[in-house]
Amino acid sequence: MRKIILVLNHVQAGFGSDENAMLQPGGKKSAIGPGKTLEPFLAELDAKIIATLYCGDQYFASSPLEVQKKFVGFAKKFEADAVLCGPAMHYPLFGEMCGSLAKAFNEQGIPAIAAMSLENPATEKYSKDFPVEKMPKKGGIGLNDSLQNMAKLVVEKANDHDTKELEEKICF
C-alpha cells in the first residue's frame, strides 16, 4: 500500500473562505475535502491518503519557507511515498502554494505533483519543474477524469515508475 499525502488550502480543506485565509499549517491523519473523492481511485491502485496537510493560502504567501519546512518534515516523518498538491483549479494563491510546495517536496527527494487548470498563473510558472496535472477550472467539465488522472500519476510517482508517457497525456 502506497502512502500519499494530500495538500490543500483552507477552502478545499473545509475551513471556510477568505475569512480563514490566514489559517496556520495543520493536518489530519485522514482524507478530507477532495481527498474523499480521490480515495476510491487511489484504493484501486493500492494507495491511500495517510494525511491531509492544509494551510491558509494567504498565510502561506506570508511565510512560505516556514510552511515548506513543516510540511516536508511531516512527509518525511510519516514516510510518504508521494505528495499530491491540490487540486488548485484556477485559484492563483492556492496554485502558487501548490507549486512552491511541490517543488520543495521534489527538491527534498519526495515525489510530488500538483493539479491546476490552464488559467492558473502557477501552471506556467511550475510546469517545467515537476508534473502539473491538467484539470478544469471550478465548474468546468472533466473533473472526475482529472481526479482519476491525479491518482494514477501520484501513484506512479510513489512507485518510482517512469511517468514520461503518462505526463505527455495528462500534464501541461
Q: Residue 139 pLDDT > 90, yes or no? A: no
21-48 pLDDT tens trace: 999 999 999 999 999 999 999 999 999 9
Q: Residue 75 pLDDT > 90, yes or no? A: yes
CB 23 within 8 A of CB 68: no
Sign of CA dihedral 142, 147, 151, 153: positive
Q: Which candidate, 133, 163, 155, places its Cα nearest to that of 47?
A: 155
- The torsion region of residue 119 among left (phi > 0), alpha (psi -120 to 50) and beta comes to alpha
Domains of the chain are 2-170 (3.40.50.2300)
pLDDT of residue 140: 85
The rounded distance, in Å, linking the Cα atoms of 26 and 55 is: 6
Q: Which candidate, 148, 106, 153, places its Cα nearest to that of 2?
A: 153
The rounded distance, in Å, linking the Cα atoms of 93 and 120 is: 9
The rounded distance, in Å, linking the Cα atoms of 113 and 87 is: 10
CB 95 within 8 A of CB 79: no
Full-model pTM? 0.97
The rounded distance, in Å, linking the Cα atoms of 6 and 38 is: 10
CA atoms within 13 A on the CB side of 100: 21
120-136 pLDDT tens trace: 999 999 999 999 999 99
pLDDT band, very low/low/confident/very high, at 160 (cuts 50, 70, 90): very high
For residue 3, the surrounding DSSP H or E stretch is: strand 2-9
